[in-house]
Amino acid sequence: MRFLISIIIMTGLCIPAMAGEGMMVFKTIPRDVDIYIDGEFKGKANEVLTLDISEGNHVLKIVKDGKSREKKYFVPSGGIVKVELSLDGTEKKGRLTFNFIRIKPGTFQMGSNDGYSDEKPVHTVTITKAFEISDHEVTVGEYRKFVESTGYDPPSKCGSKDSYKECSDCNWNKENVEDHPINCVSWEDAQSFISWLNMQAGKPMYRLPTEAEWEYAARAGTKTRWSCGDGEWCLTQMGWFDKNSGGKTHPVKTKMPNYWKLYDMHGNVREWVQDWYDSDYYSKSPGKDPLNSSGGSYRVLRGGSWNDGARYCRSPYRRYDSPGRRLANYGFRLVLLAGQQ
């Protein structure tokens, strides 16, 4: 008989844990599996067992009918992890989600004199408040919870709103892509996902990054084309783009992070941000915490993607599209509102 235990480490989607804590939610097949953490009996998962647990490494042990199995897990603060562990040794790889990195306030040079016209002029921007940004792009597995819970239109098609067509590059119906970034999502889809998360939390907790926050986080204190340097060779170590992706997305967090421990800021999927697009915005944007909320026809995307050339994965590169448009290289990541982790 195969005994399966599903473990979800959660914060924010139900009762928020204290800073430095995660939350384990156990559901088992079959029921009545004994749960031990670090050698201490925690209860039977005969229904849903919810436990607060400190950030760090822990040993989980499951016991049933004289059989047992144990494994080490790292519990992040402010993260969600799903792991499936069975007594017969088979295992489905888990996925780390919503691990937020705190970015301190600071000043940087936004834009580029070597790029396109909408990247000019280079101007000084100050981020006056700390913010917390997810260390990876929202994955298929994370987005699937939203779709299954709400019946929201799954991202299996792409194109312009009201005329979506089947798209073979959409990850939604592919196998073994739960840890890949969700793609074929519009800006409006991202906002619907965020609204659902906030509704689950019972208060506003999540949003998209602003364009300035995104570039500040992507640069991670650097002034080069990519956060690793000016040579394209370094991009192969940090991102999935047209020369190394094989024409598809890849699991998040499989390339090197930048200096602030953020993954896939260059490549994999382009990322929607909060701002409306204005090609001349840099010439008139405020010097502190800029956000273009003035309206328009397009929203901004950042970061480049699996089918983009290296030039389009640079830290200052700006892309834009209609907020209802879905393409196979469009995705997003989250910002956690201050004080919520």
- Decide yes or no: CATH 3.90.1580.10 for domain 100-336: yes
Half-sphere exposure of 238 (CA within 13 A, CB side): 28
Could you give the residue ranges of the DSSP H alpha helices within the chain?
140-150, 187-201, 211-219, 232-238
Q: Tens digit of pLDDT for each residue in 175-203?
A: 999 999 999 999 999 999 999 999 888 88
Cα 17 to Cα 45, 53, 62, 75, 207, distances in angstroms: 20, 9, 24, 12, 19
Q: Tens digit of pLDDT for each residue in 263-290?
A: 999 999 999 999 999 999 999 999 999 9
Q: Tens digit of pLDDT for each residue in 312-341?
A: 999 999 999 999 999 999 999 999 986 555
Domain range list for the chain: 4-97, 100-336
pLDDT higher than 70, residue 155:
yes
Q: What is the pTM of this model?
A: 0.74
Q: What integer pLDDT is reported at residue 34 of this predicted model?
A: 84
